[in-house]
Structure 1
Amino acid sequence: MILRLRPALLAGAALAAAGLLLAPGRTAEASTMGGDSSGAMPSASAPSYDPAEEYVKGVAALNASQYKDAERALSRVTRATPDNAEAWRMLGMANAGQSNLKGARKAYEKAVKLQPDSIEAHQGLGVALAGLKDPAAKAQLDWLAAKAAACAGTCADAEALKKASAAVEGALAAAGGPSAALEPGSLLFAAPQAGDQAYAAAVGLINQRRYDDALAALAKARLAFGPHPDVLTYQGYAWRKKGDEARAEGYYRQALAIAPRHRGALEYYGELKVERGDLAGARRMLARLDRACSFGCAEAEELRRWIDAGRDPRA
């Protein structure tokens, strides 16, 4: 299958300053995000938040050492997208910055469970446990030591492993509190412009079928933008092309949980169902697309073509 991606539409200056991505340009592999409105009266609905916007607010608050504000925003993100490891890790940092080590431990434990290879999450958990005088901190140091031994000072993570081990060792030695986890410069997260650049690079890499490299670029974009449905949809697409349909489905579901009318996620999830032979499921995605596209849209027409063909386009 020949990909026909056009370059993504990057955020304008005002949106970039606010940390919001514009939806990618429509191609065979990308789509815009449609709005959604339930029509519920205010008295019948709880306050709702855009988790991508709240993530950016949380990152900005962390960078400004405004830990309570960061905790508030990132808590909203984790409630809306409980599988977002980055948000849990940063929530741990926000709690640690307020010397709430129990809250930090809980958040870091979630981050480690969701992203077992995250050096930063293991570091944060180890420091929080040490501050609580919990002997389990030693297990985090042992994990870091084992990774460092396997790395032997030659891998890309060598410096990060060295710093993480030193942070946990320092916290254990001093029974130290959160300071080791919040060393100067540790909170300088990716700016929106860097996220846009990573996102655009991922689009180009997908076009070249370099899916591993695309996923690495999308991970950088997620650090800047959090659980943005456009980024999640591309992550799902890349994993699908790598043959991991279960993982792809997880990303599509995350995107649709945030934006139920996201046209790209609906289309690609429908295509995945066609590939699995689930034409009834694909038609349900098409019905949702038709409702989202009152006057028709390319995403619905593309999925309709897949359903009519009833075949596996990878063949």
Structure 2
Amino acid sequence: MSSFRLALCAGIVISFASAGHVLASGGGGGGGDMPSVSAPSYDPAAEYMKGVAALNAQQYKDAERALNHVVEAAPKNAEAWRLLGLANVGQNDLKGARKAYDRAVKLDPDNIQARQGLGVALGGLKDAKAAEQLDWLKARAATCGTCADAEALKAATSAVESAMGGVPTAALTRPMIFAGPERGDRVYLQAVGLINERRYDEALASLNRAREAFGPHPDILTYQGYAWRKKGDYARAETYYRQALAIAPAHKGATEYYGELKVERGDISGAKALLARLDHTCAYGCAEAEELRRWIDIGGDPSL
């Protein structure tokens, strides 16, 4: 595999805090079909950052509006659904919160904060299903012991128990300050370094923190796909590549790496279709197209 080209080129770092149209294109995007047919109506990464800023300011209606735009454009982004639940709780809309948190849990079953939010919303609605979330949190805490999630699990368990005991939901919701773009950039660059060192589990943890700051950014999704692919989980890797391309159809990095995944799976025709897409995007040629072409020619990684 050649060196990474998504957001690091000749040592220059492209900040995710830049304008929305840059975010939409991703590290290797640009070009492609007309926006009206090839891309969502809203740039989900830019709208996510608006939602985070509104939550930090406790402007919950504005946060709900922005986060609805995110889930419209990127419906499989668990973090956006979780934050939408928080925006609904801030407006005392527990039914809306239950729906959003339930979607977040289905997309990311191991997300402790999503489980907590769903349990609290269900408890506030006097729904007996709150016990399911409480049982999950307690079981996870029992196996966790003194792991890194111990405090989060303890707080989540207490919050759900309180909601089930009749404590008003508002009393269980405290203002939260979310990471800004500067911290997001730092953990993203940390993830890039960890990937280059083949420390994929640590890289994925850093990418998750970057995702909390930037939401469904195609560069982050592409790196998540790459890390899972290197861990051997091709199915999970594919979901991230597909999410990246749904947001930024002309993203060259995601297209190349998805093509490489197809080669590794023996789907040469699928890889050739992605190569054709790259050739269309790169009118005068590009490194991503040439790399994928080499993979197809030899039926695998040319560096091996």
Same fold (TM over 0.5): yes
CA pair 82-309 structure 1, distance change in 2 beyond 3 A:
same
Secondary structure, counterpart of 1:71 in structure 2: helix
| Distance in 1 separating the partners of 2:23 and 2:82 | 26
Secondary structure, counterpart of 2:284 in structure 1: coil
| Distance in 1 separating the partners of 2:44 and 2:86 | 18
1:34-55, Cα deviation, whole Å (9 max, x unpaired): 2444175xxx999810011111
Indicate if the aligned counterparts of 2:40 and 2:247 stay in contact, CA closer than 8 A.
no
Q: Which residue of 1 aligns with 2:17?
A: 16
Q: Confirm whether residue 231 of structure 1 aligns to residue 230 of structure 2.
A: no
The AA in structure 2 aligned to 1:101 is L
Aligned length: 300
1:92-136, Cα deviation, whole Å (9 max, x unpaired): 000110000000000111111111111111111111111111121
CA pair 39-141 structure 1, distance change in 2 beyond 3 A:
closer
User: Once the 2 structures are TM-superposed, how far is the Cα of residue 170 of structure 1 from its aligned partner?
Assistant: 1.9
User: Once the 2 structures are TM-superposed, how far is the Cα of residue 158 of structure 1 from its aligned partner?
Assistant: 1.1
CA pair 170-80 structure 1, distance change in 2 beyond 3 A:
same
Q: Confirm whether residue 130 of structure 1 aligns to residue 123 of structure 2.
A: yes
Q: Which residue of 1 aligns with 2:240?
A: 251
The AA in structure 1 aligned to 2:156 is A
Q: Confirm whether residue 164 of structure 1 aligns to residue 156 of structure 2.
A: yes
Q: Which residue of 2 aligns with 1:198?
A: 187
> Taking every aligned residue pair, what percent have the same amino acid on both sides?
66
| Distance in 2 separating the partners of 1:270 and 1:93 | 37
Q: Confirm whether residue 32 of structure 1 aligns to residue 20 of structure 2.
A: no
Q: Which runs of 4+ in 1 moved over 4 A?
A: 17-24, 44-47, 312-315
| Distance in 2 separating the partners of 1:296 and 1:143 | 51
| Distance in 1 separating the partners of 2:156 and 2:221 | 28
1:259-287, Cα deviation, whole Å (9 max, x unpaired): 00000011111111111222111111011
Query: How is 1:5-84 mapped onto 2 (pairs within 5 angstroms)?
Result: 5=4, 8=8, 9-11=12-14, 16=17, 32-38=28-34, 48-84=41-77
Indicate if the aligned counterparts of 1:286 and 1:304 stay in contact, CA closer than 8 A.
yes
Indicate if the aligned counterparts of 2:23 and 2:43 stay in contact, CA closer than 8 A.
no
Secondary structure, counterpart of 1:16 in structure 2: coil
Indicate if the aligned counterparts of 2:78 and 2:107 stay in contact, CA closer than 8 A.
yes
User: Once the 2 structures are TM-superposed, how far is the Cα of residue 16 of structure 1 from its aligned partner?
Assistant: 2.5
Q: Which residue of 2 aligns with 1:307?
A: 296
Match of 1:183 among 174, 186, 189: 174
Q: Confirm whether residue 95 of structure 1 aligns to residue 98 of structure 2.
A: no
CA pair 18-97 structure 1, distance change in 2 beyond 3 A:
farther
The AA in structure 1 aligned to 2:174 is E
Structure 2 gaps of 5+ residues are none
The AA in structure 2 aligned to 1:263 is K
Q: Given the two structures, how large is their TM-score scaled by the length of structure 1?
A: 0.87
| Distance in 1 separating the partners of 2:302 and 2:152 | 42
Indicate if the aligned counterparts of 2:85 and 2:99 stay in contact, CA closer than 8 A.
yes
Q: Confirm whether residue 143 of structure 1 aligns to residue 136 of structure 2.
A: yes
CA pair 206-253 structure 1, distance change in 2 beyond 3 A:
same
CA pair 66-52 structure 1, distance change in 2 beyond 3 A:
same
Q: Which residue of 2 aligns with 1:275?
A: 264
Q: Given the two structures, how large is their TM-score scaled by the length of structure 2?
A: 0.90
Indicate if the aligned counterparts of 1:11 and 1:20 stay in contact, CA closer than 8 A.
no
CA pair 272-236 structure 1, distance change in 2 beyond 3 A:
same
| Distance in 1 separating the partners of 2:52 and 2:59 | 10
User: Once the 2 structures are TM-superposed, how far is the Cα of residue 177 of structure 1 from its aligned partner?
Assistant: 2.6
CA pair 257-116 structure 1, distance change in 2 beyond 3 A:
same
| Distance in 1 separating the partners of 2:266 and 2:59 | 50
Q: Confirm whether residue 289 of structure 1 aligns to residue 292 of structure 2.
A: no
